Chain A
């Protein structure tokens, strides 16, 4: 690593403490992901959808946003993103175990369907890309109410083909709305590879909607931070949306119901594992002398405990009552 590349975080305005916290969050997300996968394989939980390979980029973006101020519409692999903006591992565990206390849905939705109003995380569904017009709607509200929050929405590269992507981008472009569209391009839409999903470059699509599109290496947490921060500043200045195409690689199968060895090789996955942004960032922090292998071992141990406790808590937590099935279709009580 050259001297110029060292301490890049400081030149971007990140303190050493923040830089370390970024590593802590991506490491925690990865630990949660591994545990959830194992729990599913052990038959303890019904389903898990992994975000492994995308966590460095997610953390970079999340740290560029203002938690509890901006609004977030993350997609189902954004564990590191939601952990960055206020969710806890316990929240994620309660969701994956489908328990009553789950803040996302009270055990109603599959895991990875985030939603937590207190942390400004907007409820999401399974049909892909529907959140893109919603994000535009939040941004429209910001403009109408003269509020200075910015809205962040993410989705996969398969989603970039849906009408809602195009309709949401166009609407936001026409009205110059404060929203950041992020395509987390992880190379596969379940089994269909990028070259069968997208002709051309996703970032270039922004040109057609009248705002900038930028492709970024998603394994470079600091570059993701820099680009997102710029996009946020543009939005705040009233200059409208930005489309970010975060280049990454999905290291795990699409979900626990998918066998990825039917459409790619172990060698390909292994090669990409070596390029994962978490490893790269750890090396950076060590090169900056902010981190050491010993500190890392301690962190891994501490986070393992945290995961263990959250797992135990969620496993023992009660399910919703059967009759709660009937609640919350409509507002309950008078006047509605």
Chain B
């Protein structure tokens, strides 16, 4: 076991997969020197500039070229520098990558990974803070993952690289250096499509993904001292959602709070709550609750606005307590 950061987990997943398979390569803006966020640091020294390929600054080409190479048989990992800049590539992701298998009746497929650092970290302002997963959520043919800790980050990225279909890999920037954990040195994957119970509890169920999972766990720890026992489910994969795990976690307590940093309206939480409402309405002991970013662009650069917008353990604690007392 080695203690590594979330950032190192991502980097080591790429490094190990590149060592294992010559077809794996990284492309994107600035990836050669390590990327502006350092995720690919050192990889060019190991694998050369062809496999850690600096591209022109053009997101549609970064994804589109990756799609072409993938259809030939390569395993490209396309890095979008900040998830906020993924939108010029949206046509390539939604119209192309997502539909290549279906539209060719299984003749062609598109095994790309698109890594997109997302979420607010402090002073990132309106265009270095967004959570764009809801734009892609609900598009058949895509898989979407969003790990909350180093172990899952490494295992999910390896699974994504080995997957035969396109995977959007949303890595939360605040997790990069804030989270460290023991991660096995031997090869492992975290399967795509499987949620994970991060804490067992009996009073309320909280469903989250990404950085927010960590706030939920902190809040749960503190609430335990008040005698409130929280059951915490980390979705890990947003598409396809692990429906069985969601229903099981909710059944466990009968009270559910769904929480994410992305805006509330049209967010992943809306779908999760619809699934619960469809299947478990009469097993609920409280209305389904949601705690999400407010419906404003994420996020004002100044500290007061940022604090107002972002979730934290205190906000979670209040919401969880309120649900427990219902």
> Least Cβ distance of B1 to chain A in Å?
27
The reply on B92 being an interface residue by CB < 8 A is: yes
A158-182: CB near B (< 8 Å → 1, else 0) gives 0000011001101100100000000
In the complex the two chains form, is B67's CB within 8 Å of A133's CB? Answer: yes
Count of chain A residues with a beta carbon within 8 Å of a chain B beta carbon:
44
The reply on B107 being an interface residue by CB < 8 A is: yes
The reply on A77 being an interface residue by CB < 8 A is: no
Beyond A171-B56, A171-B58, A328-B102, whether A134 also contacts B67 by CB under 8 A is yes
**Count of chain A to chain B residue pairs whose CB atoms are closer than 8 Å in the complex:** 141
In the complex the two chains form, is A163's CB within 8 Å of B88's CB? Answer: yes
The reply on A136 being an interface residue by CB < 8 A is: yes
Beyond A117-B108, A134-B96, A137-B68, whether A331 also contacts B56 by CB under 8 A is no
Beyond A108-B103, A330-B101, A330-B141, whether A134 also contacts B91 by CB under 8 A is no
Question: In whole angstroms, how far apart are the Cα atoms of A129 and B74 in the complex?
Answer: 22
Question: In whole angstroms, how far apart are the Cα atoms of A331 and B143 in the complex?
Answer: 12
In the complex the two chains form, is A330's CB within 8 Å of B72's CB? Answer: no
The reply on A300 being an interface residue by CB < 8 A is: no
The reply on A105 being an interface residue by CB < 8 A is: yes
Q: Which of A7-15, A48-56, A80-88, A119-127 contacts B (4 or more CB under 8 A)?
A: A119-127
Q: Cβ of B105: which chain A residues have Cβ within 8 Å of it? A: 102, 104-106, 108, 328
Question: In whole angstroms, how far apart are the Cα atoms of A109 and B95 in the complex?
Answer: 13
Residue of B nearest to A120 (CB): B72
Beyond A125-B99, A163-B60, whether A105 also contacts B68 by CB under 8 A is no
Q: Which of A279-336 contact B (CB under 8 A)?
A: 327-331, 336
In the complex the two chains form, is B103's CB within 8 Å of A167's CB? Answer: no
> Least Cβ distance of B20 to chain A in Å?
16
Residue of B nearest to A167 (CB): B61
Q: Cβ of B322: which chain A residues have Cβ within 8 Å of it? A: none
Q: Cβ of A144: which chain B residues have Cβ within 8 Å of it? A: 25, 50-51, 69, 74
Question: In whole angstroms, how far apart are the Cα atoms of A110 and B61 in the complex?
Answer: 25
Question: How big is chain B's contact interface, by range?
Answer: 35 or more
In the complex the two chains form, is B65's CB within 8 Å of A168's CB? Answer: yes
Q: Which of B148-172 contact A (CB under 8 A)?
A: 163-165
Question: In whole angstroms, how far apart are the Cα atoms of A329 and B99 in the complex?
Answer: 7
In the complex the two chains form, is B68's CB within 8 Å of A130's CB? Answer: no
The reply on B70 being an interface residue by CB < 8 A is: yes
B272-301: CB near A (< 8 Å → 1, else 0) gives 000000000000000000000000000000
The reply on A214 being an interface residue by CB < 8 A is: no
Interface set of B (CB-CB < 8 Å, partner A): 25, 50-51, 55-56, 58, 60-61, 63-74, 76, 88, 91-92, 95-96, 99-109, 140-141, 143, 163-165
* Cβ-closest 4 pairs across A and B: A137-B68, A133-B64, A106-B105, A167-B61
15 A–B contacts from the bound complex (CB under 8 Å): A105-B104, A108-B105, A109-B103, A122-B71, A130-B92, A137-B66, A137-B69, A144-B50, A163-B60, A163-B88, A171-B58, A329-B141, A330-B165, A331-B165, A336-B165
Interface set of A (CB-CB < 8 Å, partner B): 71, 102-106, 108-109, 113, 115-117, 122-123, 125, 127, 130, 132-145, 163-164, 167-168, 170-171, 174, 327-331, 336
A-B contacts besides A115-B108, A136-B68, A137-B64, 19 pairs, CB < 8 Å:
A102-B105, A103-B107, A108-B103, A116-B107, A122-B108, A123-B100, A130-B64, A136-B65, A137-B65, A137-B67, A137-B68, A137-B69, A141-B73, A144-B50, A167-B56, A167-B61, A170-B61, A171-B61, A330-B164
